Structure 1
Amino acid sequence: MWGIIPAAGQGTRIQPLAFSKELLPVGVRREGGTERPRAVSEYLVERLGLGGATKVCFVISPHKADILRYFGDRVAGVDFAYVVQPRAAGLCDALFRALPLISPDEPVAVGLPDTIWFPEDGLARLPDHRFSFLTFPVDAPQHFDAVVADADGRIREIQVKAPAPSSHWIWGAFKMPGHVFHELHALWLEREREDEYLGTLVNAWMARGGEAWNAPHGTGYVDVGTLHGYREAQRLLGSSEPAG
């Protein structure tokens, strides 16, 4: 299974930094009794691996070679590949830069590199055979993409940064079969690449008969891309990470 990490954004909400925002130190990693700072994107790499990914594609901008230097070609049994998004053009454009690597017969998982969420094995709870969103309850869903689902878990709508969303559950990661990834790309091209946000594209795909499912297994979610989120992540990690 492939994991895709869209990491080409400029991180304007938390600048100035002397490095890519995906390398912002948050928490620590303990190795053989030694502690070292842990880059925020390491949490997502770990969660993708727990979810079944053996290969991860970072989508980076031309100015983010520090991510390549940091991770190299392999970490903890996960192989890395890198593709370039020449300019910031939205999440859909970033994700589909990885399309040549993704076989229609292979599942793919996606997360956002400046987020930290729990449980760590959340993606492992999603099936490989259908399009599922791992969702989390938050206090301010208007800042995210709210997921509206029926009683059976079928998603009816993704409300993209709606001022008054009808759900307090937001998506933080997702998994899908490779053929669905290719179907979404074909629809994106048909719609003349007008979708910047994934939610609007998925809504159009569902309107044509596609099915996406809600997986409300998330217990904690923090966007580290703001100073407030960074402080909240430190608090969340302090209460969630095991000692030693």
Structure 2
Amino acid sequence: MWGIIPAAGQGTRIQPLAFSKELLPVGMRVENGAERPRAVSEYLVERLARGGADKVCFVISPHKDDILRYFSDRVDGVDFAFVVQPRPAGLCDAIFRAAPVIPADEPVAVGLPDTIWFPEDALAHLPDDRFSFLTFPVEEPRHFDAVVADPDGRIREIQVKVPNAASKWIWGAFKMPGRIFHELHALWLERGREDEYLGTLVNAWIAAGGEAWNAPLGSGYVDVGTVDGYRQALRLLGALEPVSPRP
């Protein structure tokens, strides 16, 4: 299975930093018997691996070679590929930059590198043959993309940063067959690449007869891309995650 990590954003909400926001130290790990700071994006790599990914594609900007250096060796049995988004053009553009390396006959999962969520193995419970969103309950869904679903789990709409969202469940990652990934890519191209946010593209996909499913398996979710989120992450990790060795 492939994992895609869109990591080309500028991180304006938490700047200035002297490095890519995806390498922001959050928590600790033990390596060769010594404690070392842990980059926030390591949490997503770990969760993708626990979900079944043995290959991860980072989408980076031309100026984020520090991410390439950090993850260039083999980590937790995962091989890395890197593709470049030449200029900021939204989440959809970033995700689909990985299209050339994603086969149609293999599942693919996507997550956001400046987030930390629990449980760590949640992606492993999503099916390989459906387009499914891993969702999390939050107090203020207006800051995120809220997922509105029927009782049977079929998604009706994704509300992108709506002030009065109809759901408190927001998506934090998603998984689909490679075939559907390429169908979504084709739809995005057909719509003139106008979709900056994934939610508007998924709404168009559903309106055209496509199916997407809700997997409300998440228990905790923090966006570390803001100073307040960074504080929340430190509190969450302090309460839930002990320091563990890095294989």
Q: Deviations over 1:2-26 (max 9, x none)?
A: 0000000000000000000000000
Q: How many positions carry a matched residue from both structures?
A: 244
Shift of 1:33: 3.9
Tell me what 2:43 maps to. 43
Is residue 148–residue 167 contact of structure 1 (8 Å, CA) maintained in 2? yes
User: Partners of 1:145 and 1:243 in 2: how far apart?
Assistant: 31
User: Partners of 1:177 and 1:144 in 2: how far apart?
Assistant: 25
User: Partners of 1:110 and 1:196 in 2: how far apart?
Assistant: 16
Tell me what 1:27 maps to. 27
Tell me what 1:158 maps to. 158
Shift of 1:32: 5.2
Is residue 73–residue 81 contact of structure 1 (8 Å, CA) maintained in 2? no
Q: Deviations over 1:37-56 (max 9, x none)?
A: 00000000000000000000
Structure 2 counterpart of 1:178, one-letter code: G
Q: Deviations over 1:113-147 (max 9, x none)?
A: 00000000010010111000000000110000000
Shift of 1:163: 1.0
Tell me what 1:2 maps to. 2
User: Partners of 1:73 and 1:83 in 2: how far apart?
Assistant: 16
- SS for the counterpart of 1:48 is helix
Q: Which runs of 4+ in 1 moved over 3 A?
A: none
For structure 1, which runs of at least 5 residues remain unmatched after alignment?
none
Structure 2 residue 68 is matched with structure 1 residue 68: yes
Shift of 1:30: 2.0
Structure 1 counterpart of 2:3, one-letter code: G
Structure 2 residue 120 is matched with structure 1 residue 110: no
Tell me what 1:143 maps to. 143
Q: CA RMSD in A?
A: 0.9
Tell me what 2:98 maps to. 98
- SS for the counterpart of 1:26 is strand
- SS for the counterpart of 1:37 is strand
Q: What TM-score, normalized by structure 1, do the two folds share?
A: 0.98
Shift of 1:35: 1.1
Tell me what 2:182 maps to. 182
Shift of 1:243: 5.0
Structure 1 counterpart of 2:198, one-letter code: L
User: Partners of 2:41 and 2:155 in 1: how far apart?
Assistant: 28
Q: Deviations over 1:206-239 (max 9, x none)?
A: 1111111000000000000000000000000001
User: Partners of 2:56 and 2:73 in 1: how far apart?
Assistant: 10
- SS for the counterpart of 1:158 is strand
Q: Deviations over 1:44-82 (max 9, x none)?
A: 000000000000000000000000011104211100000
Structure 2 counterpart of 1:7, one-letter code: A
Relative distance call for 1:53 and 1:243 in structure 2 (3 A) is: closer
Structure 1 counterpart of 2:51, one-letter code: G
Tell me what 2:170 maps to. 170
Is residue 60–residue 85 contact of structure 1 (8 Å, CA) maintained in 2? yes
Structure 2 counterpart of 1:92, one-letter code: C
User: Partners of 1:31 and 1:88 in 2: how far apart?
Assistant: 34
User: Partners of 1:29 and 1:150 in 2: how far apart?
Assistant: 40
- SS for the counterpart of 1:14 is coil
User: Partners of 1:74 and 1:194 in 2: how far apart?
Assistant: 36
User: Partners of 2:30 and 2:235 in 1: how far apart?
Assistant: 18
Is residue 28–residue 36 contact of structure 2 (8 Å, CA) maintained in 1? yes
Is residue 57–residue 83 contact of structure 2 (8 Å, CA) maintained in 1? yes
Structure 1 counterpart of 2:12, one-letter code: T
User: Partners of 2:216 and 2:171 in 1: how far apart?
Assistant: 9
Is residue 29–residue 243 contact of structure 2 (8 Å, CA) maintained in 1? no
Q: What aligned pairs does 1:115-134 form with structure 2 within 5 A after superposition?
A: 115-134=115-134
Structure 1 counterpart of 2:71, one-letter code: F
User: Partners of 1:159 and 1:122 in 2: how far apart?
Assistant: 23
User: Partners of 1:85 and 1:217 in 2: how far apart?
Assistant: 31
Q: Percent identity?
A: 82
